[in-house]
Structure 1
């Protein structure tokens, strides 16, 4: 009888233990379900917030775009400062002459402004590099013009070896005659202020903008117009037009990573640059038949291929 009682007692303990474990499991399952519901609620809340935030971002972006559109139409920035327009190139020889005439005949330093615009187009330099040119760089000790000058570019620190063309010589000769020996020593700036100090490029840009408005031209003129005009003239006049496109095509066919390598194949680089500057000079002096700056010749792929084959035969 005692053994049976012992078994009954152990059985009751086991049942109680299982019931306790079952209760703990149920509690754990409830906690897990509550946690799951909590995370589900948080996820849904975050989803709604993100959706709202995305809608808000899109609305803010549209609003900002509308404001930007309004500023562009009004011509002023949000702080009230006028929006600067990118400089345009001159579009013809006639336009260039109109601008030069306005510069030359406006203000006491008109001849300087005229000379700087003419030389700026011929050199193809930035205004920041033009204003730092000195007479001693252009002319030797005997008062003769040098063949070329090395210019360390302010923006890139690269050396630009500029050919001194006939147009530059003619322009600076007339300018020096007007100066009458004043501010003409080797250490003097070529395009200086009236007192001999260095001219600020921003000041010169204002002269150009004023001349452009007086001329009534439908283009935006500033100091960078000189550099853009130089590039446009080269593209339209040099090598029959579109020579840069042709060189780029040849570069791709030959597999050159750098176009300068291609130019070494085609011709000695400095001579090509000199030829381009000479043709810009002829344009400025009115020696070409070109008036409208429009590309007159496009070379097709067959022409480019023939050139490439000739190059490959030479280097093989």
Structure 2
């Protein structure tokens, strides 16, 4: 409990510090470029709002660092050596390797934007290399664990009808939590068993949905959702709503998943993304084509999808014995 409170306080302090950073930048050379960078990411790169916020926050960290060094440098004045010492400073502060990699990506994208806008002549990030990241094996649930979570939900309540539909869709379609929260009634094509999903970068894909998920989704749509006293203006087209008739938040979906896992007696940490990992892993174990899984997950590169080839050794052994010509059984 104390740890949770401290984490919330720390998060609030970080947000406050970020506000102060941008306020202090109002009369510097940074703010106009950062505002233009935000527009570039939104209009030309079509990045998600969370990504845009993270990238601009990372550029703000660089401006903060230079201010701490009492060096009144604008974006065009920064050299590779400045960025190298900045990254070393972040490393000394204990910033994780994934966070450092994302921050470097933000810097490279920012200076690419400056080149396009002719704000600089040379890119100071050209020779910078990020930390090497180890590809961790994703955490997955067994089919029995997922089934145990589903049956813990009380379908006699409106909230239970909604939560069961949420878990069914997460597992049946492998959606990201943001895609689930943004799912619209106008993007449901249940008569032909498909959903239209708008993923990262506003990229559209069509995802099949199974009979069980359709059954529970219809149960929610015809029951609990219609029983809401009112739907908040502007939220009428969202599929999943809270009790106040507003679009369901990401945090609420995390809590729903966590509560179901606790009720099912599952000790491992379970999140909405665990359902996405389980969706892909179970498809692969069942013999699905990796390219098809890539398309359903909305991965831009198949290298991202290849992480799901972490099958257990018994399955791999059985595959070799069945299909390799030198080992094939009669």
- Scaled by the length of structure 2, the TM-score of the pair is 0.44
Structure with the larger RCO, 1 or 2 (CA within 8 Å, 6+ apart): 1
In proportion to residue count, which structure has more helix? Answer: 1
Q: Considering only CA atoms, is the larger Rg found in Structure 1 or Structure 2?
A: 1
- Scaled by the length of structure 1, the TM-score of the pair is 0.45
